[in-house]
Amino acid sequence: MKCLILGGGGFLGSHLSEALLAQGYEVRIFDRPNLLRFTSSRPHASPEWLEGDFVNREHVTHAVSGCDVVYHLVSTTLPRSSNENPAYDVETNVVGTLHLLEAAREHKIRKIIFASSGGTVYGIPQEVPIKESHPTEPICSYGIAKLTIEKYLHLFHLLHGMEYCVLRMANPFGERQRIAAAQGAIAVFLDKALRNESIEIWGDGSVVRDYFHVSDAVSALTTALAYEGSSRVFNIGSGVGQSLNEILDAIEILLGATVKRSYLPARAFDVPISILDISKATKLLNWKPQVPFVEGLSRTVQWLKSNSAISPRP
């Protein structure tokens, strides 16, 4: 079986690529041109690389050709920037995905596995932990685009029988997460703490998120490949919340040093709390996170200490 990973050169995609290769799958990576390619830990099993533009229908069709399964990890925007230009969000993410779905239908792709956003599609939670049945009221264009893609996946299933699985991810972190990115608080915090630089926090640090190690995100993605049940939308996270202040406290304990903190005005698109209920994935996918939060922090610190180069984009 050949798997196409759209966005496979990034943080999550690079780890997924190695996991699929280790399980004996053929892997094709599609990502933007001139991307710094990660160094595989499996030199005798390398992915095929294709470069192109996700919004270019011909590029995407070429990437899909000859594959059996597609992992859709691409996002051209971030939550913090998406509200500045919602039209761009739709033109690139939603329309780009529609081109992908048409190409997948034409080439008889068996299944599409989509990395959605458990932190944005629900909006301000009415209750926590958040179940998949919770109302979806995103407060940023990023979340609306993710939810729209979910709906189109279901439409193509109804119209054409296309199989799909949606994983509403919380906040994965770990090795290779790019410290210069605008997304990925833990990697940024750890890098600044190691450099004894001040860590900027939007708001008073009470914002709570669900953080989990990248290896657990990858295990969910690979598990979804073999899943054949009727439920198609799953929350994927730790099921536990950590405030930004609690993360900084954990970093101080891990490093044995005080970190500098700088508090800035809160951002309008940040929901106050987001903790996902992962019981459905535990029951139906037989998946649950394996890496404790502190262990994930420690692994990330060791990677940052041993890698001076910028890691792939998230």
CA dihedral angle for residue 69, residue 17, residue 284, residue 314, rounded to 10 degrees: -110
Cα 285–287–288 angle (5° rounding)?
A: 150
Task: Give the number of other Cβ atoms within 10 Å of residue 135's Cβ.
Answer: 10
Q: Kindly write down the DSSP assignment for every residue of the chain, as one continuous string.
A: -EEEEETTTSHHHHHHHHHHHHTT-EEEEEE-TT--PPPPS-TTS--EEEE--TT-HHHHHHHHTT-SEEEE---S--HHHHTT-HHHHIIIIIHHHHHHHHHHHHTT-SEEEEEEETTTSS-S-SSSSBPTTS----SSHHHHHHHHHHHHHHHHHHHH--EEEEEEE-EEE-TT--TTSSS-HHHHHHHHHHTTPPEEEESSS--EE-EEEHHHHHHHHHHHHH---S--EEEES-S--EEHHHHHHHHHHHHTSPPPEEEEPPPTT--SB--B--HHIIIII-----S-HHHHHHHHHHHHHH--SPPPP-
CA distance between the termini of the chain = 26
CA-closest candidate to residue 165, choices 219, 215, 235: 235
Residues 146/85, Cβ–Cβ less than 8 Å: no
142 has catalytic annotation:
yes
Looking at 25, 122, 142, 164, which residue is catalytic?
Answer: 142
Supply the residues annotated as catalytic: 142
